[in-house]
Every structure is written in C-alpha cells, then in structure tokens.
Structure 1
Amino acid sequence: MRPSFKLPFSLLTGFLLSFVIYQFLFEKKCTSGPALFPIHCTFLEITLMPSLTVVIAIIIYLLIPKNDD
C-alpha cells in the first residue's frame, strides 16, 4: 500500500471499527439506563469514540507493512 493512502485508510477503518464496537458495547446500556454507569450517553460518545478511533487507527497503521520500493 502506498504511504499516501496508509494514514487515511487506517483512520477510516479505525473510525468504522470504533463505531461498531461502540454500538455493540454501549448502545444497549445507554438506552436501558444502567444503574452501574450513570453517565450520560453524549459524554460517552464525546470521550470514547475519538479515543477508540485513534487507538484502532494507530494499531492498523502499524500493522500495514511498509513498501520501501
């Protein structure tokens, strides 16, 4: 993969994966109003989604092999 497409590809994939993870883990808990985590859902969205996106994007960026042609 060319270096110019490496960063946008990993950012986009990281965003999509974090969105899927967020939907599976937190969407049902937020709508049912959990007693263990009385945090508003928008707070979770603002803090969790960008951090998940960055972490997954960095992991994918490091996993893509370099082409030193």
Structure 2
Amino acid sequence: MALMINDDCISCDVCVPECPNEAIATGDDIFVIDAGKCTECVGYFDSPQCIDVCPVDAIVPLVAA
C-alpha cells in the first residue's frame, strides 16, 4: 500500500528528506507522494518516516477509488 498527503499539508518540507525512496515531491499547492515509489518505508524503517515527522498529520493511507 502507499500513502498520500491530504489538504491539511502546510508545505513545511519536513517529510521530503525522510523518504528513503524519494517518493515525495512538490505538487501544485501541497506536497505529493508518488504511489509507485512509496513502500511505507518497508525494508528501511519500522514505520513510515513521513508520518512520524509530519507536524499536522496530513499523511494518510492512499484509498483506492
């Protein structure tokens, strides 16, 4: 599964350097996560690092439509 950044994002940039897969990039208004690259840090850490550092809890599981 992958993660996504919702509209609560304040574009603080703290999550970008934490991603071991370089899956987080600047979007139009907020940061975005490339679902094809996101592994939720499996194989690197015990928990998703972007979620751990996000000050506003804007990173959530991607919900398939």
TM-score, with structure 1 as normaliser: 0.26
**Greater RCO (CA < 8 Å, at least 6 residues apart):** 1
Query: Which one has the bigger strand percentage?
Result: 2
Query: Which one has the bigger helix percentage?
Result: 1
When Rg is computed on C-alpha atoms for both structures, the one with the higher figure is 1
